[in-house]
């Protein structure tokens, strides 16, 4: 029987058994690597009241709540989108930000005796030609 996904819909790889978690929406038991975790900010104060309090200078606390959903609930709630078959099988490479090396160079350390002397002129430079 053909496989629909290379990783069988999980992140665990070849690690063996893993703990099960409950979906926060429907209560279904789902393997932890298959569950969709979403972290959302939660404020105990209503949004319109929080705006008014912040204008007056009060600090309104925001808590971050992590919710765990099964795949069915994540698709139903719009957290995940159904993708076409070729998109599911396409390998996505993770692009990293390029390392900027020219801005991170450290200037060479000069000795105090060298800093008192003028820099030497090279025979092909313009300064050597104008002095001749």
Strands 29-31 and 20-22: antiparallel
Express each pLDDT in 48-60 by its tens digit.
999 999 999 999 8
Q: Dmax over Cα atoms in the chain, in whole Å?
A: 90
- Output DSSP code: residue 7: T
Residues of the chain with pLDDT below 50 are: none
Q: What is the pTM of this model?
A: 0.56
Which CATH class for the 8-82 domain?
Answer: alpha beta
Distance CA 49, CA 60 (A): 10
Residue 129's pLDDT is: 57
Domain map of the chain by residue range? 8-82
The pLDDT score that the predictor gives to residue 88 is 72
């Amino acid at each position: 029987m053909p496989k629909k996904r290379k990783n069988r819909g999980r992140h665990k790889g070849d690690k063996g058994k893993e703990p099960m978690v409950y979906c926060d929406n429907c209560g279904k038991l789902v393997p932890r690597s298959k569950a969709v975790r979403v972290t959302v900010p939660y404020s105990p104060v209503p949004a319109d009241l929080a705006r008014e309090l912040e204008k007056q200078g009060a600090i309104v606390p925001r808590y971050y709540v992590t919710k765990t959903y099964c795949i069915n609930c994540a698709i139903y709630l719009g957290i995940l989108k159904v993708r076409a078959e070729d998109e599911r099988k396409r390998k996505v490479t993770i692009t990293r930000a390029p390392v900027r090396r020219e801005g991170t160079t450290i200037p060479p350390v000069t000795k105090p005796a060298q800093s008192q002397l003028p820099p030497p002129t090279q025979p092909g430079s313009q300064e050597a030609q104008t002095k001749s």
